[in-house]
Amino acid sequence: MQDALASAGYPERILVACSGGPDSLALASVVSYFARRGHVHGHPVSAAAVVVDHQLQEGSGEVAAHTAAILEELGLSPVQVRTIEVASTGFGPEAAARDARHAALDAAAEDLGCQFILLGHTLDDQAEQVLLGLARGSGTRSLAGMRAARGKLLRPFLGLRRTETLEICEVEELEAWHDPSNADPAFARSRTRVEVMPVLEDKLGPGVAESLARTAAILQQDADFLEELATKSYAGMVNRTDDGVWLPEGALRELAPALRFRVIAKAAADVGGQQPGYGRLHAAEALLRRQGSAGPVQLPGNVSVYRLSLSELERDAAAGPREGGGCGKLVFRHHTSPQH
């Protein structure tokens, strides 16, 4: 906990996100200890808390109210309950709930003047995240898992096992709520937690969760390095127009494939798209091997990618291939509605 706050520059005001489950309740208990002392290593600190009611289960309002009462007893102040509507986003119920929850947490932090939001994810959550990424064939960024610090989000318990948070609740005599959806086989994460991880531990021996979490830590460094290179590459080649952006084919071809795919993804995000999967990215990248105008390739978030031939004037101005390559550009445009 102290390391997490130190890495954030010792914020004076923090917000604990608590569902009432053992992980976040244990986190709230630890945070309340420092809040009662009023400082961490001599740096002043106070803590508020928020409970997000997703309204996805019967009785969720009562669970939220009960959790809020526990948080008030711990001394966190103020404690808010935020009731949200989880709208379908087309990316599954878990993603929709996460997006709605994070929006509520951001709003609560703003209202309560908190610089950082603390989440109760554990090492077990990290291991499950990496395993799900492997099963889905995701890239480096996904396999890097959750970060201990990302923006205003802090996860101080990423080094703790779930059994340890249960022990904290037991020692502090806290009545934790156990979310029934965590054992619901309808959700991939629940199946991973209840069915897959125990089998791996049984067949491969103890330490699987720690190994998966260590893999995430290693890949985070690799992902950060590639992200930095891709950001610099994109900034050096992007051309903006009134209705989108375009990238010179020659400059893209000179990039290593790992960077080329990331630069294409950045262009899609730049015009308002969502992170493309590998298949869509590969289809967009394949336009570089076409002759003349080609496309469009549709990317998530209503983004279309085209290959267009460069005019003579554009060939002189753009960073083209050094020898023998085509003279074209990839154009990225966002549409208000899906293109057919």
For 301, the token pair is 């978030």
Q: Are 27 and 157 in contact (CB under 8 A)?
A: yes
DSSP of 71-134 = HHHHT-SSEEEEE------SS-HHHHHHHHHHHHHHHHHHHHT-SEEE----HHHHHHHHHHHH
- Please enumerate, by residue number, every residue annotated as part of a binding site for ATP: 19-24
| Residue 16 dihedral angles phi and psi, to the nearest 5° | -95, 125
Residue 174 in tokens: 């806290």
Q: What are phi and psi for residue 154, nearest 5 degrees? A: -120, 140
Cβ contact 336:302 at 8 Å: yes
Q: Which residues are annotated as a binding site?
A: 19-24
User: Within a 13 Å sphere around the CA of 210, how many CA atoms are in the beta-carbon half?
Assistant: 6
Q: What is the CA radius of gyration of the chain?
A: 24
Burial class (CB in 10 A: 0-12, 13-18, 19+), 58: exposed
User: Whole-angstrom Cα distance, residue 163 to residue 157?
Assistant: 12
Sign of the C-alpha dihedral, residues 147, 153, 159, 162? negative
Rounded to an integer, what distance in angstroms lies between the CA atom of residue 248 and that of residue 330?
Answer: 7
User: Would you say how long the chain is, in residues?
Assistant: 340
Query: Do β-strands 244-248 and 328-334 pair in parallel, antiparallel, or remain unpaired?
Result: antiparallel
